Amino acid sequence: MALNETHDPALKSWVESANASANAGSDFPVQNLPFAVFRRPREPFRGGVAIGDAIVDLAAVAERGVCEGAAARAAAAAAGDSLNALMALGPATWSALRLALSRALREGSPMREALEPCLVPRAGVAYAVPARIGDYTDFYTSVHHATNIGRQFRPDNPLLPNYKWVPIGYHGRASSIGVSPQAFRRPRGQTMPPGASAPQFGPSQKLDIELELGVFIGRGNALGEPIGIEEAEAHVFGLCLLNDWSARDIQGWEYLPLGPFLSKNFATTISPWIVTLEALAPYRVPFERPEGDPQPLPYLDSEANRQAGSLDVQLQVLLQTPSMREPASICNTSYRHAYWTIAQMVAHHTVNGCNLQPGDLFGTGTLSGPTLDQAGALIELTQGGNQPIQLPDGQTRSWLLDGDAVTIRGWCERPGAARIGFGECVGRVLPAIAA
Amino acid sequence: MALNETHDPALKSWVESANASANAGSDFPVQNLPFAVFRRPREPFRGGVAIGDAIVDLAAVAERGVCEGAAARAAAAAAGDSLNALMALGPATWSALRLALSRALREGSPMREALEPCLVPRAGVAYAVPARIGDYTDFYTSVHHATNIGRQFRPDNPLLPNYKWVPIGYHGRASSIGVSPQAFRRPRGQTMPPGASAPQFGPSQKLDIELELGVFIGRGNALGEPIGIEEAEAHVFGLCLLNDWSARDIQGWEYLPLGPFLSKNFATTISPWIVTLEALAPYRVPFERPEGDPQPLPYLDSEANRQAGSLDVQLQVLLQTPSMREPASICNTSYRHAYWTIAQMVAHHTVNGCNLQPGDLFGTGTLSGPTLDQAGALIELTQGGNQPIQLPDGQTRSWLLDGDAVTIRGWCERPGAARIGFGECVGRVLPAIAA
């Protein structure tokens, strides 16, 4: 998707809090315009677009007739309690709404008077999962994560032979996806301690995080009709932050031969805000394969994907124990290190005819970078729990304890482009249910 | 669930085609009363109950006020284009509707005049997937299937160590579940031929079936609140037939380490009719573990489950190639051979707090019986494709070819109980999409 006037880093908004001069490091300048579903207390949920410390209420935009044409249709489709209808409309319509809001929100816009009554302060609103997620698929696109994990099981041959050919993915659980901030109970389950002859049952003792991005599908495809890689990104609405909480002890005992199940499906937390692919256009980077690695099969390869298939999204994980006054960073990395791109995930998922639907969610898989301090899971950061991480207050953690809170942040910045951000994805561990 | 007057094998209906005397081997006598979502051409989809060659139109029942109280509420909940609202009401309400319909359909019922205008001939109706399936989970409950498959990979140690402790399951794809009769394209994908140095791409050459039962969830549970095994069956609405089509060559290359994905998610076919757990009450059998096998952990064990946790549902798979005049049976078995029960599946799925929702679907996994002619998949029947099955017209099959149709049938019969059936689950293979 090409750059256009909405990406101009010089743009400022009459919503002062959206401007870098007013709010250094703001996630939501006028160049971003991400979508969420929100409400104020005792109001219905509806779609909104973030601008600085405020939200453009799309139900109000639709009701007041602020926009025209495709932008008006987009706002109307986002006026309900999920964004599925908006997602189904496709990129030209999403883009029309983005352009209309960008123009209306700019300093000096003649639309200010019409739009200003549609603004709601962000403080005090609650969010919903922004779409009815029909199916959730989790991928495994970081070769560094796959290698780090594989090394713990197979030191001499960490990476399985299919990894560099197949964008590995599996189906996850949609019902337990919650929006940030989410508190969830530590899961209970079966584990098999080393050397034991029978499994134990109880609360997981190896509760972990997985730093991921979520990818919301826009338009779907009919069953039996694959989406070619050239068209793949036109089916993607946008990205959010995602924490794929994982119980490693349950996972180790259950995962053969059909993959992770109860070790993952007790909770998955996503950020409320979806940053559109159009907003991310300034942060495209080439998709590159290390020297000597196989080139993707033709159905996973395109010139556009090679030129700009990857995205440079900065990612950070922070941990806060109950005794810490503020969260401490435990991982910094970038989405640019992923081995498979979004377009490749879409093309692979549908090449067999599998049908995607508006609101479906992909996870990228844990986004570990090339060095161990860039790892997006405790199992890597602590080398299987053997090297606990040191926290600023002197505590250590091999795995999450009850009361621990984990925050994921994501943002994009580079010279010559406006900084845009994803907000936060926060989750907190509650004690297991009493036996 | 106890036997009651609705199970009396002596009951006859004024719908003549429902009576064994009129229609030997009928699947839908008055003791069955399964649910589907149907329509006649140019009419809206709505819920219905099968009786002989007819369907009780539940939208008409609701509109005409044929029932009262809980039965009326159940009919109203089933008047729309999915059964989710009915499923959410719980077993007391389902049971009230069953009793009301059983009484109204009996020979000599004073309700006949009120109900007769609500009957629609089954011939010529079309069916929909009977619920909006939020999440689909496929289990692996046949130890014979797990052993047969394992033997092809690990002859000396076919069964993995977790099998007899963990009701293994994984998440499947909900969007590509279709209702019988379903025609679907042969999937394309990556495969790695033995000895090759790079994968190939093309139509699957090892297309297989999996004989399963589907289990529709009724009432759900809140995230974080497990369903105990004693309450598990109260959360189950009923069972259907299910064919989990599988591309074995794609599966072999993709499934490590996260499980099957594109090898399964191109199509899953279910029968239109859901037979309720109450209708199946006469076919309860004890859940027994072979001598020497471990007893289930406490969360998977109950007296009721031991006494009557299994179900004796007869199952048959038939194959018809384009040159055959009628389908030929290739497998006969029973659901009674499963290693894990429905109650154990529900208790296991939720023990970590995972939330189920009305309309969720479980697959039992391939229901192979103890002998090889009772195997529910070609990979077992043909020993990995090495011993093709012989068909009556002299053809052989190692795997499915284009144009082949597969029918699954299911029924229950024993002395002293009425025979009830599931109808059919039919699917047909279309050629792969052109390259």
DSSP characters over B258-309: T--STTTTT-EEE-S-BEETTTTGGGEE---PPTTSPPPPGGG--HHHHHH-
Pick A165's closest partner by Cβ from B199, B259, B355. Answer: B199
Q: Minimal Cα distance from B134: which residue of A?
A: A134
Q: For residues A402 and A397, give the distance between their C-alpha atoms in angstroms, rounded to a whole number.
A: 12
Give the range of the structural domain holding residue B419, as residue numbers without chain letter: 136-430
Distance from CA of A123 to the nearest CA of B (A): 27
Which residue is catalytic, options A144, A145, A235, A337? A145
Q: Which two tokens stand for residue B324?
A: 């055959």
- Residues A98, A178 within the same domain: no
Distance from CA of B314 to the nearest CA of A (A): 27
DSSP SS3 for A350: helix
Answer yes or no: is the ipTM higher than 0.95. Answer: yes
Helices (H), A39-111: 58-64, 69-77, 84-87, 91-105
Residues 6+ apart with CB under 8 A from B153: none
Distance from CA of A97 to the nearest CA of B (A): 29
Q: For residues A392 and B355, give the distance between their C-alpha atoms in angstroms, rounded to a whole number.
A: 36
Which one of A96, A111, A128 terminates a domain?
Answer: A128
Give the per-residue pLDDT at A153: 76
Pick A355's closest partner by Cβ from B176, B262, B348. Answer: B176
Q: Please report, for the domain that includes residue B402, its CATH number.
A: 3.90.850.10
- Is A348 contained in some domain? yes
Please give the annotated binding residues of A for substrate, written as ranges. Answer: 140, 154, 251, 255, 366
Q: For residues A34 and A95, give the distance between their C-alpha atoms in angstroms, rounded to a whole number.
A: 12
Q: Decide: B359 and B134 in contact? Cβ < 8 Å.
A: yes
Q: Which two tokens stand for residue A177?
A: 């996806």
Give the per-residue pLDDT at B1: 65
Q: For residues A393 and A429, give the distance between their C-alpha atoms in angstroms, rounded to a whole number.
A: 20
Residues 6+ apart with CB under 8 A from A180: A127, A241, A269, A270, A271, A272, A424, A425, A426, A427
Amino acid at A136: Y
Give the per-residue pLDDT at B153: 76
Residue A333 pLDDT grade (very low, low, confident, very high; cuts 50, 70, 90): very high
- Is A435 contained in some domain? no
pLDDT of A264-297, one tens digit each? 999 999 999 999 999 999 999 999 899 999 999 9
- Residues A49, A169 within the same domain: no
> Is residue A20 scored above 90 in pLDDT?
no
Which one of A80, A104, A128 terminates a domain?
Answer: A128
- Residues A166, A141 within the same domain: yes
Q: Which two tokens stand for residue B156?
A: 């000396």
Domain count, chain B: 2
- B411: nearest Cα among B22, B30, B1, B26: B26
> Is residue A324 scored above 70 in pLDDT?
yes
- B359: nearest Cα among A175, A221, A253: A175
Q: Does B262 touch chain A (CB under 8 A)?
A: yes
A393 CB burial (10 A radius; 0-12, 13-18, 19+): exposed
- Is B435 contained in some domain? no
- A244: nearest Cα among A312, A386, A142: A142
> Averaged over B42-54, what is the pLDDT?
97
- Find where tokens 């994984």 sit: B170
Give the per-residue pLDDT at B203: 98
Amino acid at B378: L
CA neighbours closer than 13 Å in the CB half-sphere of residue B85: 14
Give the per-residue pLDDT at A139: 98
Give the per-residue pLDDT at B154: 79
Residues in chain B: 435
Distance from CA of B82 to the nearest CA of A (A): 16
- Residues B179, B217 within the same domain: yes
Contact list in B for residue A298 (CB cut-off 8 A) is: 201
- Is B288 contained in some domain? yes
Structure letter (DSSP) for residue B80: S
Ligand-binding site membership of B251 (annotated): yes
- Residues B74, B216 within the same domain: no
Pick A352's closest partner by Cβ from B162, B170, B262. Answer: B262
- A85: nearest Cα among A77, A76, A73, A93: A77
Contact list in B for residue A169 (CB cut-off 8 A) is: 258, 261
B271 CB burial (10 A radius; 0-12, 13-18, 19+): buried
Contact list in B for residue A188 (CB cut-off 8 A) is: 226, 351-353
- Residues B215, B160 within the same domain: yes
pLDDT of B147-187, one tens digit each? 999 998 778 889 999 999 999 999 999 999 999 999 999 99
Q: Decide: B66 and B112 in contact? Cβ < 8 Å.
A: no
Q: For residues A111 and B362, give the distance between their C-alpha atoms in angstroms, rounded to a whole number.
A: 52
> Is residue A22 scored above 90 in pLDDT?
no
- A97: nearest Cα among A70, A118, A135: A70
Q: Minimal Cα distance from A225: which residue of B?
A: B433
Distance from CA of B190 to the nearest CA of A (A): 8
- Is B412 contained in some domain? yes
Residues 6+ apart with CB under 8 A from B81: B37, B44, B45, B46, B128
Q: How does the average pLDDT of chain A come out, rounded? A: 96
Which one of B128, B145, B166 terminates a domain?
Answer: B128
As beta bridge partners, residue A186 has none
- Is B393 contained in some domain? yes
Contact list in B for residue A137 (CB cut-off 8 A) is: 261
- Find where tokens 């995607």 sit: A356
Q: For residues A184 and A428, give the distance between their C-alpha atoms in angstroms, rounded to a whole number.
A: 7
Sign of CA dihedral B144, B149, B154, B155: positive
Percent of chain A predicted with pLDDT > 90: 95
pLDDT of A362-421, one tens digit each? 999 999 999 999 999 999 999 999 999 999 989 999 999 999 999 999 999 999 999 999
Give the per-residue pLDDT at A218: 98
Q: Minimal Cα distance from B431: which residue of A?
A: A224
Do residue A161 and residue B198 have CB atoms under 8 angstroms apart? no
Residue A23 pLDDT grade (very low, low, confident, very high; cuts 50, 70, 90): low
Q: Decide: B137 and A172 in contact? Cβ < 8 Å.
A: no
Q: Decide: B400 and B207 in contact? Cβ < 8 Å.
A: yes
Phi (first) and psi of residue B245, to 5 degrees: -50, 140
Which residue is catalytic, options B145, B235, B348, B349? B145
> Is residue A2 scored above 90 in pLDDT?
no
Residues 6+ apart with CB under 8 A from A69: A96
- B243: nearest Cα among B410, B99, B125: B410
Q: Minimal Cα distance from B360: which residue of A?
A: A175
Q: Which of residues 162-201 of A touch B (CB under 8 A)?
A: 162, 165-166, 168-176, 178, 184-185, 187-190, 192, 198-199, 201
> Averaged over A138-167, what is the pLDDT?
93
Q: Which of residues 138-157 of A touch B (CB under 8 A)?
A: 138, 140
- A86: nearest Cα among A123, A54, A130: A130
DSSP characters over B328-367: EEEEEEEGGG-SS-HHHHHHHHHTT-PPP-TT-EEE----
Do residue B199 and residue A166 have CB atoms under 8 angstroms apart? yes
> Is residue B345 scored above 70 in pLDDT?
yes
pLDDT of B418-433, one tens digit each? 999 999 999 999 999 9
B415 CB burial (10 A radius; 0-12, 13-18, 19+): exposed
Give the per-residue pLDDT at B366: 98
Site from A261, A266, A379, A433 to mutate, B interface, most B CB atoms within 10 angstroms: A261
Instruction: Tell me whether strands B420-430 and B182-185 are parallel, antiparallel or unpaired.
Output: parallel
Pick A162's closest partner by Cβ from B161, B171, B253. Answer: B253
Q: For residues A176 and A266, give the distance between their C-alpha atoms in angstroms, rounded to a whole number.
A: 6
Distance from CA of A228 to the nearest CA of B (A): 11
- Residues A91, A168 within the same domain: no
Give the per-residue pLDDT at B24: 65
Annotation marks residue B7 as catalytic: no
- Residues A190, A83 within the same domain: no
Give the per-residue pLDDT at B2: 87
Contact list in A for residue B198 (CB cut-off 8 A) is: 165, 294
Q: Decide: B187 and B250 in contact? Cβ < 8 Å.
A: yes
> 3-state DSSP: chain A helix, strand, coil percent, rounded to 5?
25, 25, 50
Structure letter (DSSP) for residue A392: T
Pick B254's closest partner by Cβ from A166, A171, A189. Answer: A166
Structure letter (DSSP) for residue B220: -
Q: Which of residues 275-314 of B touch A (CB under 8 A)?
A: 294, 297-299
Distance from CA of A413 to the nearest CA of B (A): 34
Contact list in B for residue A166 (CB cut-off 8 A) is: 190, 199, 253-254
DSSP SS3 for A414: coil
Do residue B433 and residue A353 have CB atoms under 8 angstroms apart? yes
> 3-state DSSP: chain B helix, strand, coil percent, rounded to 5?
25, 25, 50
- Is B285 contained in some domain? yes
Chains A–B, number of C-beta pairs less than 8 Å apart? 199
Q: Decide: B213 and B313 in contact? Cβ < 8 Å.
A: yes
CA neighbours closer than 13 Å in the CB half-sphere of residue A111: 19
Site from B171, B201, B206, B349 to mutate, A interface, most A CB atoms within 10 angstroms: B171
Pick A187's closest partner by Cβ from B247, B349, B353. Answer: B353
- Is B95 contained in some domain? yes
Residues 6+ apart with CB under 8 A from A225: A350, A353, A355, B433
> Is residue B294 scored above 70 in pLDDT?
yes
Q: Which two tokens stand for residue A35?
A: 């979508």
- Residues B56, B171 within the same domain: no
DSSP SS3 for B370: coil
Q: Which of residues 336-365 of A touch B (CB under 8 A)?
A: 348-349, 351-357, 360
Q: Please report, for the domain that includes residue B110, its CATH number.
A: 2.30.30.230
- Find where tokens 């990104």 sit: A233
Structure letter (DSSP) for residue B88: H
Instruction: Tell me whether strands B361-363 and B136-139 are parallel, antiparallel or unpaired.
Output: parallel
- Residues A112, A150 within the same domain: no
Q: Minimal Cα distance from A186: which residue of B?
A: B352
Q: Does A206 touch chain B (CB under 8 A)?
A: no
Give the per-residue pLDDT at A157: 82
Ligand-binding site membership of B206 (annotated): no
Contact list in B for residue A161 (CB cut-off 8 A) is: 192
- Residues B47, B174 within the same domain: no
Pick B351's closest partner by Cβ from A138, A188, A259. Answer: A188
- Residues A224, A254 within the same domain: yes
Taking CA atoms, A257 is separated from A198, B140, B158, B259, in Å, by 19, 10, 12, 7
